[in-house]
Chains A and B, each alone.
Chain A
Amino acid sequence: MAQQLLDVKDLHTQFFTRDGVVHAVDGVTFHLEAGETLGLVGESGCGKSVTALSLMRLIPQPPGRITEGSIVFDGQDVLKMDDDEVRGIRGNNIAMIFQDPMTSLNPVLTISRQISEALELHLKMDKSEARKRTIELLDLVGIPSAKKRLDDYPHQFSGGMRQRVMIAMALSCNPKLILADEPTTALDVTIQAQILDLLKNLAREFRTAFILITHDLGVVAGMTQRIHVMYGGKIVEKADTAELFANPKMPYTWGLLRSIPRLDEHRKAKLVPIEGLPPDLIAPPPGCRFEPRCQYRRDVCKEKEPELKRIPNAKPDHEARCWGTQEGGWLVDTDWHREIGDTRVIEEIKKEVADLPAETKKDGEEPPLPPPSPVN
C-alpha cells in the first residue's frame, strides 16, 4: 500500500454541553493518499465540518474535545502533537477554506497582510518576498490587477473575489492537503462553478490533496475521486465517485440522490424528500442511525447497528453501513430508482414526523435566523 497522506482512525469528537454530550463525530475512519481528492457529503449537522476542524485540531475547546482515535498525517499523529507542532502544520501542510468568505477574512487587515502573514510565518520569507509571492498568488486565483488590489481591505471585494483570496491564502504555503468546507455555499450559482473549477485546476496543478465538504452531491460529482457519505456523525457509505452515483448501496444515499433535480427526468416528476429529521446526537438511536427515516427498514435495523463493510454486487472498495444491502440482506438486488420502499413504512414515517413536537423540528447546526431588525 502506498504511503498514505492522511489516515484517520476511529475519530470521536464530542461537545460537552449543558444538555448532554453531543457525539458530533462518532467513530469516523478514512484515509487519503497524496494528491487524492475526496468528497465528504451529508446534511447539516452530520459532523462533516467537525471532522474537518478536528483534522487541524481547530475544535473550540471547551466545549469540544477529540476524545478518541488517531489522525496520522504524513506519518505523524496530529492528536499527539504539542500546540507548537500543530501550529507548524496549520496553514503550512494542511490549509482550510471556510464556508463564508464574507466573515472569514479579517475586516481591518489588508488582503496582502492576511496572505503574507502565513508566508512569513511558515516559509520564513521577508516582507518584500512575501509581498511578491502574494501578488503571484492573487494572479493565480484570478484576481484582476492583483498588484493594485494588494492593499485593499476585504470589504472592497465581492463574495466570489473574497473566496478567491481565501483560496490564495490556502495555497500560499503549498500545503499537501486542503480542506474546503462548503466553499461555495455562500456564493451564487455562476460564481460557485468558477470557484469549483479554480479549486479543481489548482489542486491538480500543484498535486494537492483535498477534501471537499458539502451537502450538495451535485458539487462533488465532477470534483473528487472518491466520496464518503456521512450521517449522524458516522460515515455510512464509501465509494468511488462514479460507483457511488451508478450503484449507491445505502438508503440514505438513495434519498440524497432522489432529491437532486435532473434535467433528463420527466418534467412532472416530483423530487422526493427524505422525511424526518437528522438524529439527536446527544442520544442517538441504538440501531442504525438512519432507521427512523428509512423507508426500507426492518426490525433488525432498530436493534443493532450495522457495520461499515463490503457490499455484494459492487466494486471491492465500496462499503456501506446497512443491514439491507449487506451480504444476505433484503436490499441486495433492489433497484432504488423504481422501488421507493414499503408504502406502509412510508405512511408510518410521515405520521411520526407529523407527531414531532414543534420545538424539536429546528435544525441542529444552523441557528434560526434572527428576526429582521426594524428599519428606521
Chain B
Amino acid sequence: MWKYVLRRLLYAIPTLLGISIIVFLVTRLAPGDPVRLYTFGALNVTEEDIQGLRAYYGLDQPLWIQYVSWITKVVRGDFGMSLQYHQPALGLLFERMGATLQLAFTALFLQLAIGIPLGVMAALRRGSWVDNVIRVFGVIGHAIPQFWLGLMAIILVSVTLRLLPSQGVLTVGKDIWDVPDRIRHIIMPSFVLALAGIANYSRYLRTETLDVISQDYVRTAHAKGLGERTVVYVHALRNALIPMVTALGGILAVLVSGALVVEQVFTWPGVGQFTYAAARSRDYPVIMAGVMVASTLLVLSYLIRDVAYAIVDPRIKVK
C-alpha cells in the first residue's frame, strides 16, 4: 500500500511539470504586460523606467530562461514575489486558502448530507411523487449556472428579504471567532456551490441504490429478518456508495475551482477570487502559484480516491 502511494506520488511529478509548462506558456503568451499595466497612467514614468522594471522582473528574457529560473526556485519552495503586493506569492495564497477550504468543505458536506439521502429516498419510493420531484430537481439543479443562482440568491435573500449578508466571511468589525456571524455568511455561498453536486449525487445514488436493492444479497438480508432500515443503510447503501468514491475523487479540485465563480459573486476572500484577480492583473507569480496549488490538490485527491477504493471495497487491492 505505502509503496503504491509512493509510486503514485512519483508519477505526479511529471504531471505537475507538464501542467506548469503549459500554464506558464499560456499566461506569458497572452497579451498584456504587467509593468505597463501597473504603470498605466502614472506620470513621471519614462520608457526607460519601464524597460528597467521589465529587466528587474526578468520579463525581458527569452521565455525558456524565464521558465527555467522560475522552476528552479519553485523546486526550492520559492514561488516568487507577487508583482502587485510585493509579498511572497505562495504566502498570499495560503492566507486565502482557509476561506476557500472552509467554503469547499461546507459545500462538500452539504452535497453528501443532502444528495445521498435524496437519492436513496427517490430509489426506495421509485415512481412516486417524491421520486419525481427529486428527479426533476436533479436535472434543474445540475443545469443552473452558479453565477446566476448566486446573483438571484443575493437579490432575493439579501436585498429583498434582508435575511443573510451578501458578501464576505464576517461582518466588518466583528470578532473573528464570532461563529454565528460566520455561519450566516457561509450559508448562501456554500449552498450555491453545493447545488450542482447535490443534484448530481442524488441522481447518481438513485441509480446505484435501485441497482443494489435488486441484488440477491439484499434478499438474503431480508430473509434474515433484518429491519428495513438495516437492510437499506447497512447492506444496500454500503454497496451503492462504492462508485461514489469516484465522484468524490475529483470533487475537492472541482470545489476549489468552482469556488472561483462563487467567491467572485459573494466577494468571498478565497484562493479562487484571488487567483482570478491575479490573472486579470497579469500577476504571473501568483497565477502560477495558484495553478500549481490547485493541480497538486487535484493529483492528491485522485490518489486519495484510489486508496479510498481499496478501503471501501474489500475486493479491490492496490498494488
Q: Which residues of A contact B (CB under 8 A)?
A: 56, 58, 87-92, 95-96, 98, 100, 103-109, 117-118, 121-122, 153, 155, 166, 169
Is the beta-carbon distance between A90 and B220 smaller than 8 angstroms? no
B48 close to chain A: CB less than 8 A: no
Which residues of chain A are within 8 angstroms of B235 by Cβ–Cβ distance?
Answer: 106, 109
Q: State A11–B221 Cα separation when bound (angstroms).
A: 25
Whether B217 pairs with A107 at a CB distance below 8 angstroms is: yes
- Listed by A's residue number, 9 A-B pairs whose Cβ atoms lie within 8 Å are A90-B223, A91-B225, A98-B216, A103-B215, A107-B217, A107-B314, A108-B312, A109-B234, A118-B226
> How far is A150 from B60 in the complex, measured between Cα atoms in Å?
70
B225 to chain A, nearest CB (A): 4
Q: How far is the CB of B318 from chain A (nearest CB, A)?
A: 16
A92, A104, A107, A166: the one within 8 Å of B239 (CB) = A107
Cα separation A122 to B230 with both chains bound (whole Å): 14
B174 at the interface (CB under 8 A from A): no
Write the nearest CB–CB distance from A362 to chain B, whole angstroms: 21
Residues on A with C-beta less than 8 A from B312 are: 108
Cβ contacts B49-74/A at 8 Å (1 or 0 each): 00000000000000000000000000
- In the assembled complex, B280 has its CB within 8 A of some CB on chain A: no
A105 touches B314 (CB 8 A): no
Q: How far is the CA of A122 from the CA of B235 in the complex (A)?
A: 18
Q: Please tell me if the beta carbons of A58 and B314 are within 8 angstroms of each other in the complex.
A: no
Q: Which residues of B contact A (CB under 8 A)?
A: 215-217, 219-227, 234-235, 238-239, 242, 312-315
Q: Which residue of B lies closest to A152 (CB)?
A: B314
Q: Is the CB of B313 within 8 A of A108?
A: yes
User: Which of A88, A104, A108, A153 has a CB less than 8 Å from the CB of B220?
Assistant: A104
8 more A-B contacts (CB under 8 A) besides A92-B225, A107-B313?
A98-B223, A106-B217, A106-B220, A107-B239, A108-B242, A108-B314, A109-B235, A118-B226
Q: Which residues of A contact B226 (CB under 8 A)?
A: 87, 91, 117-118, 121
Please measure, in the bound complex, the distance between the C-alpha atom of A153 and the C-alpha atom of B313, giving whole angstroms.
Answer: 10
A209 to B: closest C-beta gap in Å: 17
Residues of chain B with a CB closer than 8 A to A106's CB: 217, 220-221, 235, 238-239
What residues on A are CB-neighbors of B234 within 8 Å?
109
Report the bound CA distance from A105 to B221 in whole Å: 9
Q: Closest Cβ of chain B: how far from A297's Cβ, in Å?
A: 39
User: For A91, what are the chain B residues with a Cβ–Cβ distance below 8 Å?
Assistant: 223-226
Check if B224 sits within 8 Å of A90, measured CB to CB.
Answer: yes
Q: How far, in whole Å, are A12 and B238 apart by their CA atoms in the complex?
A: 35
Q: What are the residues of chain B within 8 A of A105 when measuring CB–CB?
A: 217, 220
| Alpha-carbon distance A373/B319, docked complex (angstroms) | 26
A91 vs B231: C-alpha distance in the bound complex, in angstroms? Answer: 14
Asked if B224 contacts A118 (CB within 8 A), the reply is yes
Most interface-central of A56, A90, A98, A107 (chain B CB within 10 A): A107
Query: Which among A104, A108, A118, A166 has the greatest number of chain B C-beta atoms within 10 A?
Result: A108
Q: Assuming the A-B contacts A153-B314, A155-B315, are A118 and B222 also in contact, with contact meaning beta carbons closer than 8 angstroms in the complex?
A: no
Complex: how many Å from CA A166 to CA B220?
9
Bound-state Cα–Cα, A108 to B316, Å: 11
Min distance, Cβ B316 to any Cβ of chain A, angstroms: 10
Contact of B238 among A88, A96, A109 (CB under 8 A): A109
Per the bound structure, the CA–CA distance linking A96 and B219 in Å amounts to: 10
Q: State the Cβ distance, B139 to closest chain A Cβ, in Å.
A: 26
Contact between chains at B223 and A108 (CB < 8 Å):
no
CB A98 to nearest CB in B, in angstroms, measures 6
* Cβ contact within 8 Å between B224 and A117: yes
Q: Which B residues touch A100, using CB under 8 A?
A: 216
Residues A118 and B225 in contact in the complex (CB < 8 Å), given A107-B315, A108-B312, A155-B315:
yes
- Is the Cβ of B223 less than 8 Å from the Cβ of A103? no
Cβ of B222 and Cβ of A90 under 8 Å apart? yes
In the complex, what's the smallest C-beta–C-beta distance from B132 to chain A, in angstroms?
17
Which residues of A have CB within 8 Å of B219? Answer: 58, 98, 104
Pair A169/B225 contact, Cβ less than 8 Å: no
User: Chain A contacts of B221 at CB under 8 A?
Assistant: 106
Cross-chain contact of B223 among A96, A107, A121 (Cβ < 8 A)? A96
In the assembled complex, the Cα of A155 lies from the Cα of B316 at a distance in Å of 10
The list of the 4 closest CB pairs from A to B, nearest first, reads A90-B225, A91-B225, A91-B224, A103-B216
